């Protein structure tokens, strides 16, 4: 089973990296960009065929390591394998 985890900074947490990317795009002449927030995307391949099991394990992985709950939120998307 393949899953994707997306971690993002919580609202209100300053994101210097997103801000730097935003400034660079403005400097390159792109207009109409209201805001950029940078996150992380994890592609994970799990050794299970059960969607429930995959979700449960991934949430645990997020809590234990992938996301720091002080500043980050995470979302889990199960992508059916074949």
CB of 14 to another protein, least distance (A): 7
CB of 70 to another protein, least distance (A): 5
Q: Which residues pair with 3 in a beta bridge?
A: 44, 78
| 68 near another protein (CB under 8 A) | yes
CA–CA dist 56, 46 (Å, integer): 11
- Residue 59 or 71: the one with the smaller Cβ distance to another protein is 71
Segment 18 to 47, residues that bind another protein, using CB under 8 A: 20
Summarize as ranges the residues that interact with another protein (CB under 8 A): 13-14, 16-17, 20, 64-66, 68, 70-71
């Amino acid at each position: 089973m393949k899953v994707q985890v997306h971690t993002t900074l919580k609202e209100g947490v300053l994101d210097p990296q997103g801000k730097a990317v935003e400034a660079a795009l403005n400097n390159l002449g792109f207009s109409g960009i209201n805001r950029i927030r940078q996150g992380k995307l994890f592609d994970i391949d799990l050794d299970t065929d059960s969607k429930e099991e995959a979700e449960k394990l991934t949430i645990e992985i997020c809590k234990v390591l992938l996301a720091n709950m002080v500043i980050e939120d995470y979302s889990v998307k199960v992508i059916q394998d074949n």
